[in-house]
Amino acid sequence: MEIFRGISGAKGKMHNGNMAWIFVAALGLGLGAWRDWRKAALALAWFAAFLATNNRELYFPFAMHWALLLGLLGKPFWRMGLVVLAFFGVRIAQEASASVLAVEGLVSVVALGGPLLWWGRGEASGQRSWMTLGAGLALAYFGLFVN
C-alpha cells in the first residue's frame, strides 16, 4: 500500500497527486493502449482539464478512459482490470471514504460494462469504437455527479 500512498500524492508527497495521473497513464500505455494512439492521446484532454481547473475529480474519468481503451483493444480483459485496481489502490491510499469508493465502484461497472457489452454485440469498426469510448466516458463523467 505504501507504493500507492507515494503515487497518490497523499500526505503532500506530490502536488495534487499528479503522480497518480502519470502512473495510470504509464500503466495503460504499458499494457498496450499505445496500439490505438489517437484514443490514448485523447486521455491528455482529461489531464489538461485537470491542470486548467485543478478539479481532482477528473481523475476518475481519466482512469476509466484508459481502462475502457484497453477493453476496446480486446481480450484479455485483465489489462482493463489492472487499471481499475490501480485506480482504487490510489483512491484507498488517498483515504477516500467507503461510501465514495462504493459509488466509484458502481459507476465504474456501469461506465465500463455497459459500453463494452454494446460493443461486443455489433460489428467492430472504427466509428463504433469511438462511439463506445464516448459513451463510457460520458457515463464516467456524469457519474461524478452521483456522489
The tens digit of pLDDT for each residue in 54-87 reads 888 899 999 999 999 888 887 678 888 999 999 9
**In this predicted model, what pLDDT tens digit does every residue of 11-37 receive, in sequence order?**
444 445 678 888 999 998 998 888 888
- The CA radius of gyration of the chain, in Å to the nearest whole number, is 15
Q: Which amino acid is at 75?
A: K
Q: pTM score, two decimals?
A: 0.82
Residue 12: partners with Cβ closer than 8 Å, 6 or more residues away: none
